[in-house]
Structure 1
Amino acid sequence: MEINGKIIEILEAKSGQSAKGTWRKQQYVLETEDQYPKKICFMVWGDKIDEFGIKQGDKLMVSIDLESREFNGRWYTDVKAWKISRGDSKADDTQFSSSGDYGSTQSSNPPPTFDDDEIPF
């Protein structure tokens, strides 16, 4: 799934320790440029934060995966970016993917998994 828009806010980065090691995530708020704009908060995990280098005001096409999970009877949905395309010009049409396979949603660095009693937020 892909969303287009402009980065209007960059939230504070978060990091922590899990059984599999150190993790970090960065959340961004993108506003669509539709007739009725929507704001969508998405996250980027690990090394992709530096690789994508997202800045406030950037116009992006963000390829995302949606995933929901249950914790203590409540459901939480994550919007995870796996590819970023920049701008409208050919010079700025750089695509990023941690796996190098731009058509695949599989990442060489999948997001960490957490124990049932551990939530990363």
Structure 2
Amino acid sequence: MEIQGKIKLIDETKTFGNNGFRKRELVITTEEQYPQHIMIEFVQDKCDLLNNYTVGQDVKISINLRGREWTNPQGEVKYFNSIQGWRIEAIQEDNTTGQMPPVPPMEAFAPADDINEEEHDDLPF
């Protein structure tokens, strides 16, 4: 899955436990009618992917949805979801999308007064 938006926050890398588990969180704001602030976590070696990005940048992030079950000390079963990022790329905003450039208004063109109707070109059609 992929999600696109503007980076709102990039947190520092945090290390947990004796095994050195690393996690870094990023928040993006989607650009739709009702923008959403989505927190995406990057874990272990994927934390370093965020080093080259800054707040305000438009990005596309490849994500996986993760879910887990946990039983609390009282015996109640709880479920948790997370969104994990595994790839991130900047979205370039350029005008190379194949669109024609805008046409200047008619007033920008001078009238052609020097047309000679009797001159013919030598094209065969």
Question: What do residues 7-59 of structure 1 show as CA deviations (whole Å, max 9, x unaligned)?
Answer: 112234321225xx211100111100112111110001122222332321121
Q: What SS does the corresponding residue of 1:56 show, helix, strand or coil?
A: coil
Partner of 1:75 in structure 2? 79
Partner of 1:17 in structure 2? 17
TM-score normalised by structure 1 residue count: 0.65
Identity of aligned residues (%): 33
Partner of 1:8 in structure 2? 8
- Find 1:84's aligned residue among 81, 85, 88: 88
Q: Which has the larger radius of gyration?
A: 2
Pairs aligned (count) = 88
Richer in strand (by share): 1
Unaligned runs of 5+ in 1: 91-121
Richer in helix (by share): 2
Question: What do residues 69-106 of structure 1 show as CA deviations (whole Å, max 9, x unaligned)?
Answer: 0112111111000111112258xxxxxxxxxxxxxxxx
Unaligned runs of 5+ in 2: 72-76, 95-125
- Look up the equivalent residue of 1:38 and give its one-letter code: Q
TM-score normalised by structure 2 residue count: 0.63
Write the distance in 1 (CA, Å) between the matches of 2:5 and 2:34: 12
- Look up the equivalent residue of 2:70 and give its one-letter code: F
Q: What SS does the corresponding residue of 2:68 show, helix, strand or coil?
A: strand
Q: Do the aligned residues in 1 keep the contact of 2:23 with 2:43 (CA within 8 Å)?
A: yes
Partner of 2:46 in structure 1? 48
Runs of 4+ that moved beyond 4 A: none
Q: Give RMSD over aligned pairs.
A: 1.8
